[in-house]
């Protein structure tokens, strides 16, 4: 069964944004970012796109 996220539609905190920038800069994959930040993959993608970050893709 898919994971449920209890944080639906909550605003991003400055700590979460900093952590996203740090982890994405280190080359973490989308699923790992979602688990680390306890947010959905869609939420991570949207925030990264608005901040101009690139998310690493697993090959």
Domain ranges within the chain, ordered by starting residue: 14-51
Each residue's pLDDT tens digit in the chain (59 positions)? 566 656 667 899 999 999 999 999 999 999 999 999 999 999 999 999 999 999 988 76
CA distance 47 to 30: 12
Specify the DSSP element, H or E, that contains 49.
Answer: helix 41-51
What's the pTM? 0.81
């Amino acid at each position: 069964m898919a994971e449920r996220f209890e944080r639906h539609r909550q605003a991003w905190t400055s700590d979460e944004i900093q952590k996203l920038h740090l982890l994405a800069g280190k080359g973490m994959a989308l699923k790992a970012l979602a688990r680390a930040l306890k947010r959905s993959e869609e939420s991570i993608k949207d925030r990264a796109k608005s901040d101009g970050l690139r998310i690493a893709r697993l090959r």
